[in-house]
A and B are shown apart, each in its own frame.
Chain A
Amino acid sequence: MFKSGWRPNRSFIYGLAFSALGVFTFVVSNAFPGLPEGHPGPGLFPLIMGACMSLIGLALMVQYRSQDDGNKHSMVGDWISIGILLLILIVFPWLRNLAGFPIALAISISGVAMLLKILHWKAIIVGTSTTLVVFLLFNKLLQVPL
């Protein structure tokens, strides 16, 4: 993609992300109302922080652009695992509404266990027993409703 041989390394991408977040913060908080008599209001701090963050982001981009951080290439498969793990947690609230907390937790943890390369039937045992222990700990011992 980059013919010159320069490709955006990791620090450059982080710097870019920080800058974008900084600019976004700045723009959003610029719209906050001020205090009477023209004094700065609730927007003051986010504005300063947004400005600082965009500058830091720029500095990160400039400082590391020429370097090659020579890191190992990550594999697509690794990122897919991360995605699945996050998906399990994103779906969790719905699962809980559908099946109740204990069952939802057991299913989710079994999924996580499989992701961690525990074999299928073992994963289900891990999920169920973990749920049981956690449930007993919180519901019975600490009296927290789940």
Chain B
Amino acid sequence: MALFISITLSNGCGEGGGSSDANYPARPVTMMVPWAAGGMTDLSSRALAAVLQKHLGVSVNVVNRTGGGGVIGHLALSQARPDGYTIGAVTVEITMMHNMGLTELIWEDFTPLSLMVDNAAGITVRMDSPYETVQDLIDAVKADPGNLQASGTSRGGIWDLARIGFLRAVGLKDSDMPWVPSQGASPALQELLASGVDVVTASLTEVDALRRAGQVKTLAVMADERLENFPDVPTLKEQGIDWSLGGWVSVCAPKGLPDVVKAKLEEAILKTMEDPEFRDAMNQAGSNIREIQGDLLVKFLEGEHTKNEESMTLAGLKQ
């Protein structure tokens, strides 16, 4: 079937112009993922790729290029040929890695195609903790600065930035609620349950299983609006705290992608993201779909770039 579509597609376009860009796509597309198989980025990218091939008419193969805290995969994508046959997932880390001196690479080294997923950070505590609202937590931190500890990922990771930004937004210092590094959300949650730490700032998607099991409660979500999948969790903005942050995944191509190809890809990705098949897969994983394309996407990326740089400078993480 896919073969049939691709043949008709390439025939149809072939009559129009001689340029190879106009024939796009004529062969399989590779989608690079800078994180390991089985993670959130990988799962979303695979879900996208599976449906994208339907709308693109050629197969889309996912390749994981992992390592270096995401540097290697992002670097490989940026160095690929900008012909539309190599696209990839670019994650929020692209706004952070250069600050830590890991790489020179920033989002401007890519051709942004679309935002795909944005999982907002949450503020999660143990079920038996005395805090019922964010205000309770803030009061407790103010009463005894440095006593409560938070965790969620490595130092300087995205959930650490969530903590830093939150503390700043309510007028607290970085050291008032120190960060305990962990190797990801699930070890951090384990520490939370064992009372090793008091707060976890990982995304709602990651804490969902424990929330449903009644072992933890989420006081707030760091999003602009309440999330579709978690309508019962209030946002920080509702409570007058101006801070939002999420771990997002976008689809990008190497820099210098021809406009014809870019338009075709954008259209196919948009169709994919509206496809119920993709939406169901993402909802099942508890991931929050967020479609942003074109100029809005550029604006979004610029905003994230400055916001995360500010947080990191503030926390002394910028090299």
Q: A36's contact among B61, B63, B316, by CB below 8 Å, is which?
A: B316
- Cα(A36)–Cα(B178), bound, Å: 11
Our count of residue pairs bridging A and B at CB distance below 8 angstroms stands at: 4
In the bound complex, residues from chain B placing their C-beta under 8 Å from that of A36 are 175, 316
Min CB–CB distance A35 → chain B (angstroms): 8
Q: How far is it, in angstroms, between the C-alpha of A36 and the C-alpha of B175 when the chains are bound?
A: 9
Write the nearest CB–CB distance from A16 to chain B, whole angstroms.
32
Tier of interface size on chain A: under 10
Q: Could you give, for residues 34-56 of chain A, a 1 whenever the CB lies within 8 Å of some chain B CB and a 0 otherwise? A: 00100000000000000000000
B51 to chain A, nearest CB (A): 21
**What per-residue 1/0 map shows which CB atoms of B165-206 lie under 8 Å from chain A?**
000000000010000000000000000000000000000000
Of residues 138 to 190 in B, which have CB atoms within 8 Å of A's CB atoms?
A: 175
Kindly provide the distance from the CB of A39 to the nearest chain B CB, expressed in whole angstroms: 11
**Nearest B-chain residue to A35, judged by Cβ:** B155
Contacts of A118-146 to chain B: CB distance below 8 A: 145
Using CB atoms, name the residue of chain A closest to B175. A36
A75 to B87, CA, bound (A): 52
Give the docked Cα–Cα distance between A28 and B80 (Å).
Answer: 33
Q: Distance in Å from the Cβ of A135 to the closest Cβ of chain B?
A: 18
Q: Compute how far the CA of A145 lies from the CA of B65 in the bound complex, rounded to whole angstroms.
A: 13
Residues of A within 8 A of B175 (CB): 36
The 4 closest A-B pairs by CB, nearest first: A36-B316, A36-B175, A145-B61, A145-B63
Binding site for A on B (CB under 8 A): 61, 63, 175, 316
A-B contact pairs, 4 of them (CB 8 A): A36-B175, A36-B316, A145-B61, A145-B63
